Amino acid sequence: MEYVRLGKTGLKVSKLCLGCMSFGTPGGPTHPWVLPEDEAQPFFTKAIESGINFFDTANHYNFGDSERITGKALKAYARRDEVVVATKVGLRMSEGRPNDRGLSRKHVFDQIDRSLARLDMDYVDLLYIHRLDPDTEHEEMLDALEAVIQSGKVRYVAASSMWAWQFAKLREMQKARGYQQFVAMQNFYNLAYREEEREMMPYCASEGVGVVPWSPIARGFLAGNRPREGQSTKRAATDKMAQGYFGSAQDYAILARVEKVAEKLGVKPAQVAYAWVLSKPFVTAPIVGVTRIGQLEEAIGALDVKLDAASIRSLEAPYKTRDVAGHS
């Protein structure tokens, strides 16, 4: 396993991040297709044995179930100082309660304590704002984030999908106040969705911000989990977000190129999709979401897949600008 700095920080993370959204209570309120605790354990052992030290969850994922399972597994299989744990705050944590979402000082303070209790940890290495909150002023949000850093409950703060101008503005506000700036951006990026190349990726590269993309294989689409004649996995059949994002003629043209390169190299399509993301110098570590152990093994194997310039040109050729997505 190769380890790299997260942006300009001294924090070293593995080139792959295990995404823990896949773990929770099946039929739960946010992601009904998830795996229960007993089925989640082999993913953590495989990840740790393979050298993955970077784990990503969120309070929102089945309202805390993912955090609980993640924390319990990491306590069993790894030392706390050996792993980098990221969680998120901002999305709803219940139905109907007005202060149970957002980025107000109240919600940030309440949720970091609840996240730490579920994780059974004293601190998280990285706290993301899951999305921007239109009902909270930026000053209040940034003050709250700085306060949880100063309390010792959070080591670094980061952000997820938004417009590049918003991210730049927030980081400049932090700098002007003498606050720790966001050190990473977790954004939507893969061969079938490359709109982040317009502004966000150049900004992050210029400023030394780590990039930790979500959906690096297009929520499984680039692994072939949604063939034209039907759906082949439980997640593909129930993941409404993926169904809304992918399935156009352009997407299938890109998938065809992925499959062609995979056949030429003797690897899996998912490995080509991961290898393409990993080939980008501005990417720190893509988030690997898995529901089968073979999927994790494929992702780890993708670290050894090297794409030549001709293959990269072929993979990128069918792409045309599409509507921006993933900000809400």
Residues designated as active site: 61
Which residues touch 247 (CB under 8 Å, ≥6 apart)?
A: 221, 226
Q: Contact at 8 Å (CB) between 13 and 6?
A: yes
First to last CA, the chain: 33
The three-state DSSP-derived secondary structure of 133-191 is: CCCCCHHHHHHHHHHHHHCCCEEEEEEECCCHHHHHHHHHHHHHHCCCCCCEEECECEC
- In angstroms, the CA 197 to CA 145 distance is 28
Rounded Cα distance between 121 and 254, Å, is 42
| DSSP string over 206-247 | HHT-EE--B-TTTTTGGGTSS-TT---SHHHHH-HHHHHH--
Strand partners, 78: none
